[in-house]
Structure 1
Amino acid sequence: MKNFLLSIIFLIRACLVFSSKLPDVCPNIIKKSEWGGRQADKIAYTVIPLKYVIIHHTVTSKCMDPSSCSRTLANMQNYHMGTLKFDDIGYNFLIGGDGNVYEGAGWHRLGAHARGYNKISIGVAFIGDFSTEKPTPQQLEAGKKLIECGIALKDLDSSYKLLGAKSLRPTESPGAALFSEIQGWKGFTTKP
């Protein structure tokens, strides 16, 4: 019963947030329906405010406009849901080279990006492979603004910890160049 009531509260809050104007600190967020994403097979909600932001890279081709980013996201969602059997695309948000943030699972919803941390974090993936080069300045700025947005919406704890996925499991994500970049961001740590 408690989980049901929490789900109802979060659903009402989500409707209020997305039916009203987002705070000015928020970057441009392209909703899943706008990039052609499918509805999730099942939705689970997180308890907010979340304590962690986990940064990933997608190890796909870069995308530099809404059209190419939408194709990349649709392919990724199909892979996550069809092959990996996730309920939705695994990341909460993805950031294209065009500086747009693309809604994945979204706010308040459980992602599938970091086993053991999905319930207490948002997963933010930068679209591309950032092993040897950094994301575009627009991507980096959008990533920082998305975190500020989460704090303004009270989805993220103001004392959140920022981690690269490689700090949680054996992976190269978010790529060496992006990992080096986020070490200078507020909240960065290598130890959860």
Structure 2
Amino acid sequence: MEVASTHPEYFSHVRTIIGMVLGLSLARLVNGLTRFVQHPGIIKVYPVHLGWVIFLFITIVHFWWYEFHLSRIPVWTFPLYGFLLFYAMVFAALTALLFPDQMYEYKGFEDYFEQRKRWFFGLLAFAFLLDVGDILIKGEDYLYSLGVEYLIRQIAFVLLCIIAVAITSKKLQMVLVLAAITYQVSWILRLYVIL
């Protein structure tokens, strides 16, 4: 068995595969958004769906930005690598849920999103729980540097996802997604403007 090493290129190696998965996720969002431009007479925008697309785009870009703090990890193991790869793949699954390969059996994005929102919000809640593990990997000091707001934020987003599944009012759904986007941008600007 080989002794664990702390070579900096290990972090670069892990970042590469995570970057590939996140890059595919962002590409799926961009490709999905261009459908509205390519086929404006056929594919109609559903504002609530579009709001969650914007939220997820911001969240994925944010995830990639703050994952740089993984450079502080002294020893890389396969389970650690597997966890981070799995976490990144959850974002890929979320983007696939927002923009499916085919829409033939649905009347449009409103119909699709309303029928699949349990899957989307369930997986999004799971991503917020995985984030706690990701933060703990970076160390207790990193967790404490985020303050008590971090844990409140994670719990609030998980609860928001549970509530979002039950909300049928389009106006209330829109308020919820706009609040999520606003808070996410606020969080990033307050804590992550500088690495």
Q: Quick check: which one's helix share is greater?
A: 2
Larger radius of gyration: 2
Q: TM-score, normalised by structure 1?
A: 0.26
